[in-house]
Amino acid sequence: MEKRHRISATLKQSATAIDLSDFSEHQVFFNRKIKPICGDYVALTKEQNDYRIESILPRDNVFSRADKHGRKQHLAVNVDQVLIIMAVSPEPTRDIINRYLVAAELNHIKPLLVFNKIDLQSEYFIATANSYRQLGYEVFLTSIRQIDSIKALQQCLKDKTSLLAGQSGVGKSSLSNLLFPALDLKTGKLAKKTGKGAHTTSVTQLYYDTSQNAFLIDSPGVWEYGLWHLSPIEIAHGFREFQNYLGACKFSNCSHSHEPDCAVIQAVADGRISEKRYQSFIRICESMDHLKPTNY
Domains and CATH numbers, the chain: 5-56 (2.40.50.140), 62-218 (3.40.50.300), 232-290 (1.10.40.50)
The residue among 237, 263, 285, 255 whose CA lies nearest residue 101 is 237
Q: Which residues are annotated as a binding site for GTP?
A: 116-119, 166-174
* pLDDT tens digits, one per residue of 143-169: 888 888 899 999 999 999 999 987 777
* pLDDT tens digits, one per residue of 207-239: 999 889 999 998 866 665 578 889 999 999 999
Phi, psi of 275, rounded to the nearest 5 degrees: -60, -40
Rounded CA-CA distance 179/172 in Å is 10
Rounded CA-CA distance 45/28 in Å is 9
Q: How far is CA 169 from the centre of its chain?
A: 17
Q: Which residues are annotated as a binding site for Zn(2+)?
A: 249, 254, 256, 262
Q: Which residues are annotated as a binding site?
A: 116-119, 166-174, 249, 254, 256, 262
Cα 235 to Cα 44, 104, 231, 281: the distances in Å are 38, 11, 6, 8
Q: Does the pTM exceed 0.95? A: no
- The whole-number pLDDT of residue 248 equals 97
